[in-house]
A and B are shown apart, each in its own frame.
Chain A
Amino acid sequence: QLQLRESGPGLVKPSETLSLTCSVSGDSLTRSNFYWHWIRQPPGKGLEWIGGIYYTGHTHYNPSLKSRLTISLETSKNQFSLNLASVTAADTAVYYCARPVGVIPGTLVTAFDSWGQGAMVTVSS
């Protein structure tokens, strides 16, 4: 059974770098046809897609975050990571890692049927 688990500091100072790791069990990051994604949700607000990474290391980023964002793979540990630089209070959110449905014959379904439990990150001095 697929499980995703986010881990990392719950408190980050303004202007510093937010770093989170998603540990995956029950599936392999190197399996084809999946991007592995990060999504966040500020308190009391809606969902924002952050970015995704393919098993080859190819990434897609939200243009609104691209200049500050790095998503990377550590395939030997079956993990992928998020680094968001120069954070402000606006980056305070619950951060989720997620895996999409994948390929249904004829269609790539990038809707998320597997989510981590979420990691709350607060940006504050």
Chain B
Amino acid sequence: EIVMTQSPATLSVSPGERATLSCRASQTVSTNLAWYQQKPGQAPSLLIYGASTRATGIPGRFTGSGSGTDFNLTISSLQPEDFAVYYCQQYNDWPPLTFGGGTKVEI
């Protein structure tokens, strides 16, 4: 099983600032990595797949990068609606599909 580790667990930032979230895989996942945003009481929403491809309707301030075992999600200028929990997920080698533990982006 590929273990996904996200850091930091919590990221405190101000609106307008840049945020960088990290995700590390226990073995290579190539670029078969996705990022999700989850707000309280809602299902997760896909932001990025293929490590760097934005999903439909996702604004350009969200950028995914990385390959192999190390990945980043960068939010260039945080908007009030971006405060949420973010998860990474690998789909390179499954079953099982595996998710990281999440990073909470808070004010």
Contact = CB atoms under 8 A, between A and B. Distances in A.
Q: Which bracket fits the contact residues of B?
A: 20 to 34
Contacts of A113: 46, 49, 55-56
Nearest to B96: A62
Interface of B: 1, 32, 34, 36, 43-46, 49-50, 55-56, 87, 89, 91, 94-102
Interface residues of A, number: 26
Interface of A: 37, 46-49, 51, 60-64, 96, 98, 100-101, 104, 107, 109-113, 115-118
Given A100-B91, A101-B55, 17 more contacts: A46-B99, A46-B100, A47-B87, A49-B94, A49-B97, A60-B95, A62-B96, A63-B1, A63-B95, A96-B43, A98-B43, A101-B46, A107-B50, A109-B32, A112-B44, A113-B55, A113-B56
Main secondary structure of the interface of A (DSSP, over half): strand
A47 B95 contact: no
Contacts of B55: 101, 113
A48 B94 contact: no
A46 B50 CA distance: 21
Contacts of A110: 32, 91, 94, 97
Contacts of A116: 43
A112 B46 contact: yes
Contacts of A46: 87, 99-102
A48 B99 contact: yes
A111 B97 CA distance: 9
A62 B99 contact: no
